[in-house]
Amino acid sequence: MTPTGRVHNFGAGPGILPLQVIEDCQNALPNLDDSGLGLIEISHRSDTFQKVIDSAMERLRRILSIPDEYTVLFLQGGASLQFYMSALNLLKPGEKVDFLVTGTWSKKAMKEANRIGDASPRWDDSENGFKTIPRNGDYSIREDAKYVHYTSNNTLFGTQYHHIPDSYGKPRVVDASSDITGVKIDVSAHDLIYAGAQKNLGPSGVTVVILSPWAIERAGDNLPTMLDYSVHASKKSLFNTPNTFGIFVLERVFNWIEENGGINGSIARNIAKSNLLYEELDRSDFWKPHAEKESRSVMNVTWRLANEELEEKFLYEAKSRGMEGLKGHRSVGGIRASIYNGCPIESVESLVSFMQDFEKSNY
């Protein structure tokens, strides 16, 4: 347990947020910015809320160095809706799109794209248990593919790209749900970036979508209104009632990032946290880290115990020491520590110290 009575939260999503952000919400709930109206009671058409959404977009543009000609949207439906919506807008029926399949989320995205066009896995690591990320040259892209889709961080398996994958000159589309603002990203090298907020950015129910001019232009003429990027772009994410609460939290999280060194601060903290954990995992053969070294994620760290029978005991004792959310996803098993932006290094230090104690008493 931490001094605030909150546990060390290693949950995969919704994930932990900085306490300062939670307190900002607490303050705004009865009265947002002295408007006399509460955060979840105020009109999305009010000047007070307009300032919140404008500020959230400006801050994100600064944090990620988003080029001026790109559009930022705050939508609903999670990353899972973007699996379909991205293909619906970017592909015409029958057109080709190529996927790099590095985990369950890429598979799900490819399934939805197949409803519109011809989606092909150009690289698929499922037989190897999704331990790696492809290197450039490990795959080919079809000459007439309209774009290439990849998943920057694999939340379930704990693997992550540490380079921009070669797309053979095609536009890149990336699902960055679990590492956006936690690692470096060159926005201008992508045409569409989408991310459900609940891992690194805020609460569930709001999705960040960043689009190039090409991506907006690709939207067809007769799409269902709510699934048309160009509609949301022309209304600046206020076509219908957005998740006002979620957008407020985004704004506060972006404020927190900017106050703490911007993207470089995030990157440095995430590297420091993940290094602590990986050093412990490499120290002893008591632990069996899942991902191959060069593909390791700085956001989700996954491992098994060499003696898998001890895993349940590990989770039980971790919980009694105030550490929660460590159970691995059922498709991988074992242990997963999600150490998103909001997770303080003290939580990782507590985890490592618990791991060392646990090894001593169970070796």
Ligand X SMILES: *Cc1c(COP(=O)(O)O)cnc(C)c1O
The DSSP letter of residue 46 is S
What's the half-sphere exposure (Cβ side, CA atoms, 13 Å) at 51? Answer: 8
Is 205 a residue that touches ligand X (CB under 6 A)? no
Does the CA dihedral 84-87-90-93 come out positive or negative?
negative
Q: Is 196 in the site for ligand X (CB under 6 A)?
A: yes
105 labelled catalytic? yes
Instruction: Determine phi and psi for 182, rounding to 5 degrees.
Output: -105, -15
Q: Is 199 a catalytic residue?
A: yes
Q: Given the complex with ligand X, which of 99 and 314 has the nearer CB atom?
A: 99
Residue 191 near residue 172, CB atoms below 8 Å: yes
Q: Which is nearer to ligand X, 28 or 250 (CB)?
A: 250
Indicate which residue of 96, 98, 105, 179 is catalytic: 105
**Would you say 28 or 332 has its CB closer to ligand X?**
332
- Asked if 251 touches ligand X (CB under 6 A), the answer is no
Q: Which helix (H) or strand (E) holds 154?
A: strand 153-154
Q: Does 336 bind ligand X (CB under 6 A)?
A: no
Please identify, among the stretches 2-10, 77-85, 92-100, 279-287, the one whose residues bind ligand X according to the rule CB under 6 A: 77-85
Per CB under 6 A, does 190 bind ligand X? Answer: no
- 177 near ligand X, rule: CB under 6 A: yes
The distance of closest approach from Cβ of residue 151 to ligand X in the complex, given in angstroms and rounded to an integer, is 5
Number of C-beta neighbours around residue 116 at 10 A: 19
Q: Which positions ≥6 away from 276 have C-beta within 8 Å?
A: 345, 348, 349, 352
Contact yes or no for 233/303 (Cβ under 8 A): no
CA 72 to CA 286: how far, in whole Å? 45
Which of these segments, 23-31, 85-93, 174-182, 318-326, binds ligand X (CB under 6 A)?
174-182
The sign of the CA dihedral 312, 314, 315, 321 is positive
Which 101-130 positions form the footprint of ligand X (CB under 6 A)?
105
Contact characters 123-162, ligand X, x per CB under 6 A? ----------------------------x---x-------
Annotated active-site residue in 124, 125, 175, 228: 175
The site for ligand X (CB under 6 A) is made up of 13, 78-80, 105, 151, 155, 175, 177-178, 196, 199
Catalytic residues: 105, 175, 199
